[in-house]
Structure 1
Amino acid sequence: MRPPTADAAGRERLGLMPAPLRIAIPIHSFEPGGVERVALNLASAWRAAGHDVRVVLGRDEGADRSRAPCDLDYWSLPSRISTAAFETLWMMWCLFRYLRREDTDVVFCAGNTYAVVCVVMRLLIRRRCPPVLVKISNDLYRCDLPPGYRHLYHLWLKVQRAMLDRFVALAGPMNREIVETLGITPDRVVTICDPALTAERFAKLSGIPREQAAPLHRGLRFLAVGRLARQKNLPLLIRAFVGGSHASDTLTIVGDGAERGKLEALVAALAMQDRVTFAGHVVDPDPFYRRADFLLMSSDYEGVPAVAIEAIAAGLPVIATDCSSSMKTLLGHGSRGVLVPVGDVSALAAAIGKAGRIPRLDAASRSYAETFTIECAARKYLAAMRSLAARPRQEPGSISRRAAASVASGVPPASTRCQSDKSPSA
C-alpha cells in the first residue's frame, strides 16, 4: 500500500503546494483498442510529470502487450481461470479491490466502455469512491439504435450524469452533444482534443511524401484501419467498395476481431479476393498509411476516431460515414475528405467512385492533426483531475438518491442528427 498523503483539498486549505495526484486507470487488457492505447500513452505522460499512476488491469495479456509502456505501474489480481468471457464483471471486482486498499485521488475512465465499471464503484464504495473523470469516446446520440433501445441508452446516460463527476469532450462539437444528451451544465464538461498521436508520431506521419494528383499509372489504393467489430459496419464498406471502385483499385483492411470470418466470407462470395486484402492486426500501421491513397470509414457511430486523425497527418483524404458530431469539423467541412450518411451503401460507393476528384491534402490541412497530440492533452487532463481531487466527496446516499431522481425525470430530446427512427441497414 502506498503511504498516505494529505488529499488535494486538505493541502489546498493549508496553502501547501499540491501533492502529486494518485490516479487509477481501469483497463480490461492489452487487446488492441484505441481507447486503451490512448489511456496508456496519457498515463506515461502523467507519470513523467511526477504523478503516481496505477493501471488497474483485468488481464495482464493481449496482442498489444509488447507495445505497452514499460515505465508504468500495473496492478492486477491473479486468477486461475480465464476472465475474458466476463471481463467487465472481473474489472469491477479488480477495481473494487484496488480502491478499497489504495488511496486514490481520481479515477480516469478512459472511455464509455468503462462507465458501467465506475458507476458500480460509486454504488459499492460510496463516499470512499474517488471522483471520476470520464472521457466520452463514442457518439452519444446513437442514431443507429432503434427508438426503444435509444430511449434505454439515454436513460443509462442520465444514470452516468448522476453518478459520475466530470466529462471530457474530444472535440468542440462533442461538448454540446454531451451537455444535451446528459442534461448537465456546461461547467461539468471540459473539451480536450483526442490525444491520438504523440508529437514524434505526428512528425513521422506528416513527413510522408504525397503525390499532388490522382495517379494515372495505377488504380487507387484504399485503406481501412480498426477493429473488425460490428460498430465499424465493414460489410457496408466492402459492398460500397465493390459497387463504386474501378477494376484496378484495391482495398486493404488492417485490423482483427470477431467479424473477420464473416467479412472474409463476404469478400469470397463477391469474388473480390484479388482486390480486397486482410492484413490482420499489426503493431505498426504506418507503412500502410504510406502506401495508401485514401482512408475509408463506414462506422455506425464513433467519438473522434483516432484513425481519421492519423490519416490526416499522413496526408490521406478521408471518405467516411457521418458517424459522429465531430466528423464535419474533423474533415474541415470538406477540405480533408468527404462525408456520406451513416448506413448508406450507395452514397459511400458513389464517393469511392469519385475519389480521384478529391483534392489532396496540403501541408496546412495535414498540420491540423497536430492539435491531437498527447503532449497538448496531458496537461489539460491533469488540470481537470486536479480540480476534481480538490472537491469534497459526496455524502453517503446522496448520489443514489440523485440518480433515481435523474432517471425518473426522463430522457433528453431527440437530436437533430437523428432524422429518422429507422435503423440504417448494413
Structure 2
Amino acid sequence: MNKKKISFVIGALTAGGAERVVTTLSNQLIEKYEVHIIILTKCEPFYKLNSSIRLFYCREKFLPSNNIFQALKTNYSFYKAISSYLKNNKIDLVIGFITSVNILAILASRKINIPCIISERIFPEKSDIQIQWEILRKLLYRKANFLVVQTSEIREQFKSIINYDKIIILKNPIAPELSEARDIQFKKDNIILNIGRLTNQKAQDILIKAFANIDNDNWKLIIIGQGEKQKEYEELIKSLKLNDKVNLLDQTKDIAHFYNKSKIFAFTSIFEGSPNALIEAMHFGLPCISTDCPTGPSELITDGHSGYLIPINDQKQLEMRLSKLINDEKLREKFSDNAILSVKPLEAEPTTLEWIHLFEKLLN
C-alpha cells in the first residue's frame, strides 16, 4: 500500500521545544506515513530521528540579513526551495512549525495546491516577532486548513485572525525515549533542577536569588540551558558566593539522567506556549514549583495537589515553596505520584493519535 506523504517544515532541528515535538511526532508517524522534514538551514539534528525519515535542507548555512531587501531575498529563496521540494516529492500534506516558517508553508502549499496545517508554540501576546511577520500572520493564517495550538488561552488569542473552528488544541507529546529512560527507583540527590534557555522569558535569576535566600545546606541548584543571560547569571552566582552550589550546564542529550536524580523541579517562566520541560519533569515524578504564567502550567498543575503554582516573579513565594518541599518528604511523594498521573494523557501514543485524526480529515 502506498503511504501518504507528509512533510514538516521547521527552521532548525536544534535543542528546543518545537524541535523536540517535530522529532517525536515524526518518529511516531513513520509507521503510517512517508515522513519528510524540510529544514531551513543545515544542522545536525539534536534529537534522535528514525533513519527512514527524509531530511531536506533549504540552504547549507545560516546567513543573517543586514536589511529588509536581504531578508526578502532570503525568504523568497526559502519559499522557492520549499515549494519545489513539495512538488517534486509529491507531498500530500505540509505542517509548518513557528510563525515565519508557517507563512512560508502556507505560501508554498497554496502554490502547489495541497493542504497545510500550521502550528504556533508560544503565547502570541508575548512573542517577540518582527512587524512584517505580524502583518503576514494577520493576512495569511486564515488560508491554512488548521492552526494547532496547545492551550485554550492561545486559541482565544488567534480567533481574530483565523476562523475559530480551524484552531485546534493539541498537546505536546512526551518523547517515548524519555518514558523508557524514566526510573522512579533511581537514587535521588539533593538537587533542585531547572531546564530552559537562559533568557528573560525563563527568568532563572529569580530562582538563583531564591535559592541563595533559603537554607540550602547539602542542596544544589542545577540549571540546564544556553542563552544570552549566561554571563549575567555567572556573575550573579559569583556575587552570591554560590559557585559550589549552583551549576549552569550546557544542553545535554541525556536529560533523563537529571530528571531521574533530582528531587525538585523549579520553573520560573514569565510566559510559555506549553512548557515541555515542566511536562517532562512531571512525567518523571518530580515535585514541581511553577509560575502560573500564560500558558500551560495551570493546565498541568493543580496547586497543592500535583505541585505548586506561584505568581510570576514572586521570589518570596518561591523561597517559601522551595523550603517547604526541601523539608517535607511526604509532600514530595504526594506531588510526585499526582504529577505522573496528571500528565499521563500526554504520552506519545494518545497524543500522536490526535494528530493522525487531524491529518486524516485533510488526506481523505
Whether these two folds match at TM > 0.5 is: yes
1:108-187 aligned at under 5 Å gives the runs 108-110=95-97, 114-123=98-107, 126-142=110-126, 158-159=138-139, 161-170=141-150, 174-175=151-152, 177-183=154-160, 184-187=162-165
How far has the Cα of 1:366 moved from its partner? 1.4
Change (3 A) 1:40 1:150: closer
Gaps of 5+ in 2: 66-70
Secondary structure in 2 matching 1:196: coil
The Cα shift of 1:290 comes to: 1.9
Give the direction of change, closer, same or farther, for the CA distance of 1:129–1:258 in structure 2 (3 Å limit): farther
CA deviation vs aligned residue, 1:141-177 (integer Å, no higher than 9, x gap): 43x98xxx9999987764454233312243xxx1354
In structure 1, the residue matched to 2:358 is 384
1:84 is displaced (CA, Å) by 5.5
What letter matches 1:134 in structure 2? Answer: I
- Select the residue among 373, 386, 403 that pairs with 2:347: 373
In structure 2, relative to structure 1, the CA distance for the partners of 1:295 and 1:345 (3 Å cut) is same
Partner Cα separation in structure 2 for residue 151 and residue 20 of structure 1: 40
CA distance in 2, matches of 1:122, 1:202: 34
Cα 1:95–1:261, aligned 2, differ >3 Å: closer, same or farther? farther
Residue number in structure 2 paired with 1:406: none
Change over 3 Å in CA distance of 1:306–1:41 after alignment to 2:
same
For residues 76-115 of structure 1, the aligned pairs below 5 Å read 76-79=57-60, 82-83=61-62, 85=64, 89=75, 91-92=78-79, 94-110=81-97, 114-115=98-99
Q: Could you tell me which residue of structure 1 aligns to residue 35 of structure 2?
A: 53
Shift of 1:243: 2.9
String of CA shifts for 1:42-78, please: whole Å, max 9, x gaps: 11221112x121111223324726x333231111245
1:106 and 1:270 map into 2 onto residues whose CA distance is 53
Deviations 1:261-302 (A, max 9, x none): 332222122221111012212111112112211111111211
Q: What is the SS of the residue equivalent to 2:90?
A: coil
What is the count of residue pairs matched by the alignment? 351
Alpha-carbon offset, residue 305 of structure 1: 1.1
Closer, same or farther in 2 for the Cα pair 1:197/1:124, shift >3 Å?
closer
Residue 307 of structure 2 contacts residue 339 of structure 2 at CA under 8 Å; is this kept in 1? no
Unaligned runs of 5+ in 1: 1-16, 391-426
Amino acid at match of 2:344: E
Instruction: Report the counterpart of residue 395 of structure 1 in structure 2.
Output: none
Q: Normalising by the residue count of structure 1, what TM-score does the alignment of the two structures yield?
A: 0.72
Closer, same or farther: CA 24–164 of 1 in aligned 2, 3 Å: same
Task: Quickly say closer, same or farther: Cα 1:191–1:323, change in 2 above 3 A.
Answer: same
d(CA) in 2 for partners of 1:256, 1:248: 26
- Which of these residues, 18, 29, 39, is aligned with residue 22 of structure 2? 39
Cα pair 2:270 2:313 within 8 Å, conserved: yes
CA distance in 2, matches of 1:293, 1:222: 6
Could you say if the C-alpha distance between residues 163 and 271 of structure 1 is closer, same or farther in structure 2, counting changes exceeding 3 Å?
A: farther
Distance 1:99 1:256, change over 3 A: same
Where does 1:254-293 land on structure 2 (aligned, <5 Å)? 254-293=224-263
**Superposition deviation, residue 252 in structure 1:** 0.6
Deviations along 1:177-220, one digit per CA (max 9) or x if unpaired, are: 4035433554323333320232x632542x41279xxx9xx9x4
Aligned in 2, Cα 1:253/1:84: closer, same or farther, shift over 3 Å? farther
**Residues 134 and 166 of structure 1 are in contact (CA less than 8 Å); yes or no, is this contact kept in structure 2?**
yes
SS of the aligned residue for 2:41 comes to coil
Structure 1 residue aligned with 2:301? 331
Letter in structure 2 aligned against 1:343: N
Cα distance between partner residues in 2 of 1:342 and 1:125: 40
Asked if the contact 1:118/1:132 (under 8 Å) is kept, the reply is no
Map Cα deviations across residues 19-38 of structure 1 (whole Å, 9 max, x no partner).
63321111323321121122
Q: 1:27 aligns with which of 10, 33, 58?
A: 10
Q: Structure 2 vs 1, CA of residues 151 and 58 (structure 1 numbering), >3 Å: closer, same or farther?
A: closer
Letter in 2 for 1:380: E
Structure showing greater radius of gyration is: 1
Answer yes or no: is 1:70 the counterpart of 2:51: yes
The structure whose RCO (Cα within 8 Å, separation 6+) is larger is 1
Change (3 A) 1:275 1:203: same
Write the distance in 1 (CA, Å) between the matches of 2:287 and 2:137.
Answer: 34
The farther-off stretch of 273-282 and 21-30 is 21-30
Per-residue CA deviation, residues 292-325 of structure 1 (Å, 9 max, x unaligned), is 1111111121122111121112211111111233
RMSD of aligned residue pairs (Cα, Å):
3.3
Deviation at 1:372, TM superposition (A): 1.1
The percent of aligned pairs where both chains have the same amino acid is 21
Q: Distance in 2 between matches of 1:150 and 1:92?
A: 18
- Number of the residue aligned with 2:68: none
Amino acid at match of 1:355: L
Report the AA paired with residue 62 of structure 2. T
SS at 1:231 equivalent: coil
CA distance in 2, matches of 1:235, 1:56: 36
Deviation string 1:102-128 (CA, Å, 9 cap, x unpaired) is 322222123xxx222222443466452
Structure 2: how far apart are the matches of 1:63 and 1:98?
20
